[in-house]
Amino acid sequence: MDFNDTPEEAEFRAEARAFLEKHLEPKTSSGVRRERGEDFLRRAKDWQALKADNKFAQITWPKEWGGRGGTAMQNVIWGQEEAKFDAPTGPFAIGLGMCIPTVIAFGSDEHKQRYVKKALRGEEIWCQLFSEPAAGSDVAGVKTRAVKDGDEWVINGQKVWTSGAHYSDYGILLTRTDPKAPKHKGLTMFIVDMKQAGVEARPIHQASGGREFNEVYFSDVRIPDSDRLGEVGQGWKVAIVTLMNERLAVGGSPGPDWSEIMDYAREAGTLSDSDFRQTLADWYIAAQGYKLTKFRTQTALSRGETPGPENSIGKIITANQLQDICNSAIEMQGHYGLMTDEERMPADGLFQQSFMWAPGLRIAGGTDEILKNIIAERVLELPQDVRVDKDVPFDELKQG
């Protein structure tokens, strides 16, 4: 494939860049600063509405849902250009990347009319309520119960690590409706109104100082049967669609790369250290390998193909590298590396902020080990992980 833009792609890139330059400031640093206060949310909602009004909100979505009806390559180009600017995009990533595609795939026409455009314009924010204290990598082990009562379902249980639940309006909720069935077969998915009585989001205080994800408790929450996504007992099939979209969405990580730590080492006078130079060379080689792998993904997209499980490699490489790079930079800073005062941190806190975020990135959207399992089983076709509990009724499984 020729990686230069075609004339049409160059035209789209120029249009996108002009729009971004008109409305946003260029990014001054690749550090991960994770603001989520009221002001940030307001700014994010305004930016999302402006993008939607100008058909930049969801490039590949059909026009009937407010998208541009554009190509996958245009989507790649938009992502590349928007990443160069200080764009407040975070709060909508889960809703538009995972929840709404699931609503489009399994919801009724009323659901689509009611939810899709409002989410696209940033008027309503969505969260993904899958993980529980004993169901993360093995998400089919969820225990949150949904019990039918007339035309409604009554929900009781607890979710955890729910990003953005405290400011979300709606969520997609994976529940257990039949504990007598094997774990993958007794699940059902719902749309849940996060602002209704009985739903309590308790933000988790993170090492970085942020509060981005939550424990969410459901106490006798009532959901009408009409807000079910997919058939009763088919929740796993619905969840797979969400998770497939998640795997496509989680690629490389934002944050400082080998070139930024090289610049920093030059300033700090440690570039002549031979051990450091060796490590720098390893990061450079891994980054080049990942860049070429991304070109393969782009080639697949430009041919109208969907990138496959090999895409999982991006997060393994970049999240680990981000953690290593930030760790080395902080060591280089000596005592100053321990500072947490934003005004005084060396290099404007570029490495500290990203260091706090990197471990989470290695877990969210599939841990390193789970992604390696996917590559082993589905790319390299090695024997499958042992799954002894697959056909056992859920209520006969040892719990704990």
Ligand X SMILES: Cc1cc2nc3c(=O)[nH]c(=O)nc-3n(C[C@H](O)[C@H](O)[C@H](O)COP(=O)(O)OP(=O)(O)OC[C@H]3O[C@@H](n4cnc5c(N)ncnc54)[C@H](O)[C@@H]3O)c2cc1C
One DSSP character per residue, 119-159 reads HHTTSS-EEEE--BTTBSTTGGG---EEEEETTEEEEEEEE
Using the minimum distance from each CB to ligand X, give the nearer residue, 81 or 132.
132
Q: 208 or 352: whose CB is closer to ligand X?
A: 208
* Among the listed residues 367, 375, 376, 389, the single contact to ligand X using CB under 6 A: 367
246 is catalytic: yes
Nearest distance, CB of residue 249 and ligand X, angstroms: 12
Q: Which of 233, 226, 240, 253 is nearest to 98 (CA)?
A: 240
Under rule CB under 6 A, which residues in 70-129 are in contact with ligand X? Answer: 94, 127-129
Complex with ligand X: residue 72 or 127, whichever CB lies closer: 127
How many positions of this chain bind ligand X (CB under 6 A)? 20
Burial, 390: exposed, middle or buried (Cβ in 10 Å; 0-12, 13-18, 19+)?
exposed
Shortest Cβ 190–ligand X spacing (Å): 14
Stretch that binds ligand X, among 25-33, 58-66, 177-185, 368-376 (CB under 6 A): 368-376
> Which CA distances in Å does 56 have to 180, 182, 368?
47, 43, 32
| Shortest reach from residue 99's CB to ligand X, in Å | 10
Q: Is 385 in the site for ligand X (CB under 6 A)?
A: yes
Q: Does 282 help bind ligand X (rule: CB under 6 A)? A: no
Place of tokens 């006969």: 396
Q: How far apart are CA 20 and CA 86, in angstroms?
A: 10
Phi-psi region of 250 (alpha: psi -120 to 50; beta: other; left: phi over 0): beta
- Retrieve residue 23's tokens: 């409305």
- Judged by beta carbon, residue 104 or residue 376, the one nearer ligand X is 376
Residue window 317-356: x/- pattern of binding to ligand X, with contact defined by CB under 6 A: ----------------------------------------
| Residue 3 beta carbon to ligand X: minimum distance, rounded to whole angstroms | 32
Residue among 246, 267, 305, 396 flagged as catalytic = 246
User: How crowded is residue 144: how many other Cβ atoms within 10 Å of its Cβ?
Assistant: 22
CA distances from 285 to 37, 54, 288, 292, 312 (A): 38, 39, 5, 11, 18
7-15, 80-88, 287-295, 367-375 -> range binding ligand X (CB under 6 A):
367-375
Selected binder of ligand X within 363, 375, 376, 379 (CB under 6 A): 363
Residue 230 to residue 108: CA distance in whole angstroms: 9
Instruction: Name which of 213 and 264 has its Cβ closer to ligand X.
Output: 213
Residue 218 binds ligand X, judged by CB under 6 A: no
Q: How far apart are CA 117 and CA 40, in angstroms?
A: 21
Q: What is the DSSP track for 188-233?
A: EEEEEETTSTTEEEEEPPPTTS---EEEEEEEEEEEEGGGEES-TT
* Binders in 130-169 for ligand X, by CB under 6 A: 130-131, 136-137, 161-163
Residues in touch with ligand X (CB under 6 A): 94, 127-131, 136-137, 161-163, 213, 360, 363-364, 367, 369-370, 373, 385
Catalytic residue ranges: 246
